[in-house]
Amino acid sequence: MKPIFIAGPCVIESEELLDQVAQELVRLRDLLGVEIFFKASFDKANRTSIHSFRGPGMERGLRMLADVKARYGLPLLTDIHESCQAEAAGEVVDVLQIPAFLCRQTDLLVAAARTGRVVNIKKAQFLSGEDMRYPVEKCREAGAKDVWLTERGNTFGYNNLVVDFRNIPDMMRWTPRVIMDCTHSVQRPGAAGGKTGGNREFVPAMALAAKAFGANGYFFEVHPDPDHALSDGPNMLYLKDLEQVIDSLL
């Protein structure tokens, strides 16, 4: 199966940021001949602190994402946190993503599946690859034709994650498309004084290790200036470095 790539900022910060990232993704798509999905969140409902930036909200955020699709021709992925968001988001994006902490929420999975869109379920930090059989079954029994699974590491004590790459072949028993979230897997959850830290220097190696275990999709949160990003900056890849990382995987 030909690999796919998912990339974009963690959260919608501005139209200017979306344009800058989308332009680079189109350039890489055309240069490298790869399928790239544009990812950004309209609302980050799971931030560490109540004071953290969450995004523009669903109505405005979906309009901004629809504009990206119309102008750049990139397929879209965004996450939803509540079942009531599925229908509206499904009218705009190509892939509805279920956040890791919510991957067992039956109503959310069923609502996403019923939109007819691809459903990408991120594996919870507290589950094994084999456990992901059941979220996949919920989606398929609710009518989803295409379900993806994404590895993003497991909780390893406090404020740390570790990736067991055996989860990738384990999850391929349940769905043929298994994606490695190469940036969230290097997070240090809650380890930066009310926000999440991370180690972006390990992102390229995470991607290559996942390839060795059979991953056929790669997820990168990217930003032109991660140190000033409004969400997930410490684990995000510099936008300028994305070409080299994708090229290494090809």
| Per-residue pLDDT tens digits for 178-217 | 999 999 888 777 645 555 677 889 999 999 999 999 999 9
- Which of 186, 183, 184 lies closest to 245 in space, CA to CA? 183
92 pLDDT tier (thresholds 50, 70, 90): very high
Asked if residue 113 has pLDDT above 60, the reply is yes
CA 152 → CA 28, 128, 187, 245, distances in Å? 24, 11, 9, 18
pLDDT band at 160 (very low <50, low <70, confident <90, very high): confident
Instruction: Pick the more confident residue, 233 or 113.
Output: 113
**Tokens 């930066």 map to which residue?**
192
Residue 134 backbone dihedrals phi, psi, to 5 degrees: -75, -40
What is the pLDDT of the chain when averaged over all its residues?
93
* 100: confidence class by pLDDT, cuts 50, 70, 90: very high
Comparison of pLDDT for 195 and 25, the residue scoring more: 25
What pLDDT is recorded for position 244? 97
Q: Specify the higher pLDDT residue, 51 or 149.
A: 149
Name the β-bridge partners of 76: 38
- pLDDT, residue 238, reads 95
- The reported pLDDT for the residue numbered 167 is 98
Summarize the confidence of residues 158-178 as an average pLDDT: 95
- Scanning the structure block, which residue is given the tokens 């004071």? 51
> Where do the domains of the chain lie, and which CATH numbers do they carry?
4-249 (3.20.20.70)
Task: Identify the pLDDT of residue 105.
Answer: 98
3-state secondary structure of 11: strand
Measure the CA dihedral 135/124/7/159, to 10°.
Answer: 170
User: Which pLDDT score is estimated for 65?
Assistant: 98
Q: Report pLDDT for 26.
A: 98
User: For residues 47-70, b (16+ Cβ closer than 10 Å) or e, as one string?
Assistant: beeeeeebbbebeebbebbeebbe
Q: What is the pLDDT of residue 196?
A: 63
Task: Please report the pLDDT score of residue 44 as a whole number.
Answer: 83
Tokens of 109: 């999975």
User: Which single residue is written with the structure tokens 């590895």?
Assistant: 151
Q: Say if residues 236 and 226 touch (Cβ distance below 8 Å).
A: yes
Confidence class for position 159, pLDDT limits 50, 70, 90? confident
Residue 142 has pLDDT above 70, yes or no: yes
Q: What percent of the chain has pLDDT over 70?
A: 96
pLDDT reported for residue 121: 98
Q: What is the pLDDT of residue 115?
A: 98
Asked whether residue 109 carries a pLDDT value surpassing 90, the answer given is yes
> Residue 146 and residue 33: Cα distance in Å, rounded?
23
Q: Does pLDDT of 158 surpass 70? A: yes
More reliable by pLDDT, 147 or 155? 147
User: Given phi > 0 = left and psi -120 to 50 = alpha, else beta, which region is 203?
Assistant: alpha
CA distances from residue 142 to 79, 90, 100, 172, 174 in whole angstroms, order as listed: 19, 15, 19, 20, 16
